[in-house]
Homo-oligomer: A and B are copies of this chain.
Amino acid sequence: MPSLDLRVDRNSPVPLYRQVASGIEAAIHDGRLARGQRLESELALAATLRLSRPTMRQAMDELVRQGLLVRKRGVGTQVVAGPIRRAIDLTSLFDDLTGSGRTPATEVTSFSHGPAAPQIQDTLQLPPRSTVYHVIRLRSVGGEPLSLMENWIAGTIPGITPALLEVNGLYGLLRGAGINLRVASQSIGATTSDARQAGLLGVTPGSALVTMQRTASDDNGRAIETGRHLYRADSYTFDVTLVQR
């Protein structure tokens, strides 16, 4: 058993189980824990770190749900031997791109604020005579168009203007306005580009696009945003990690 050398800082504002989960995750990623390797038992790890077993287990639960660890009753816990892929988070494309060190550019090709069309009203479960923002944006990275995004946002939000949308992600602007998106339903499919889409995205008409329709709700459970995004299939995929329940 190599020295895993986990530590926790009991004075940190970061919860203990988060500290432990991060520590194990780091050990997996830098190879101190090899793929397929067995971990010490929950009880042993808890004792080493002077944590209660539920706290230790809470840490390992996170990693099991992420698909990094596999547990078997009566046997033990080990690192997954198969390929490990980071799954999509609930973040905006903008955050994903900046997070991976690239610089996205955004062009707002359409912006309006007015009465919601019946279908949008229905999707966002808005009361009659509600207003929504309707925004179409073209996002590029490294000068290459990547995505054409059409969104509807409920309510009246001071921080949403075309100028701000050109330098921020939509989710970042909403966070700035005190709106915290917590749950999103996404549906991912495929289509072929028509002439207009192809022109904007810099591809041949008829080439493949990934489609994503999403509706996102805030921490009050209210639907806030819905949209349909198109991505160039040659430069974008959605990655998901699934764990059997």
| Contact surface of A with B, Cβ cutoff 8 Å | 35-36, 54, 65, 67, 70, 72, 78-85, 87-90, 123-125, 180-192, 206-211, 215-217, 219-224, 233, 236-245
13 more A-B residue pairs beyond the given contacts A90-B244, A183-B241, A185-B239, with a C-beta to C-beta distance below 8 A:
A35-B221, A72-B220, A80-B217, A82-B125, A82-B223, A88-B242, A90-B243, A182-B244, A187-B239, A189-B238, A190-B191, A190-B208, A240-B240
Distance, CA A220 to CA B81, complexed state (A): 8
Among the interface residues A184, A187, A206, A236, which one has the most CB atoms of the partner chain B within 10 A? A184
A28–chain B nearest beta-carbon distance, Å: 11
Q: Report 13 cross-chain contacts, Cβ distance below 8 Å, ordered by A residue.
A: A35-B125, A81-B217, A81-B221, A82-B215, A82-B224, A83-B185, A89-B245, A181-B244, A182-B243, A187-B237, A189-B190, A190-B208, A190-B211
Inter-chain contact B190/A190, CB cutoff 8 Å:
yes
**B70 & A182 in contact (Cβ 8 Å cutoff):** yes
Residues of B within 8 A of A210 (CB): 188-190
What chain B residues lie within 8 Å of A72 (beta carbons)? Answer: 219-220
Q: Which residue of B lies closest to A242 (CB)?
A: B90
Q: Which residues of B contact A87 (CB under 8 A)?
A: 185
With both beta carbons as reference points, the residue of chain B lying nearest to A245 in the complex is identified as B89
Known: A35-B221, A36-B222. A85 touches B241 (CB 8 A): no
Asked if A185 contacts B82 (CB within 8 A), the reply is yes
Whose C-beta in chain B lies nearest to the C-beta of A189?
A: B237
The residue on B at minimum CB distance from A123 is: B83
Given contacts A81-B217, A81-B221, A82-B222, are A238 and B187 in contact (CB under 8 A)? yes
CB contacts (< 8 Å) of A80 on chain B: these are 183, 217, 221
**CB-CB < 8 A to A85: which residues of B?**
185, 187
Q: Is the CB of A239 within 8 A of B186?
A: yes
Q: Distance in Å from the Cβ of A127 to the closest Cβ of chain B? A: 12
**Contact in complex: A67, B242 (CB < 8 Å):** no
Bound: A22/B201 CA distance, A: 45
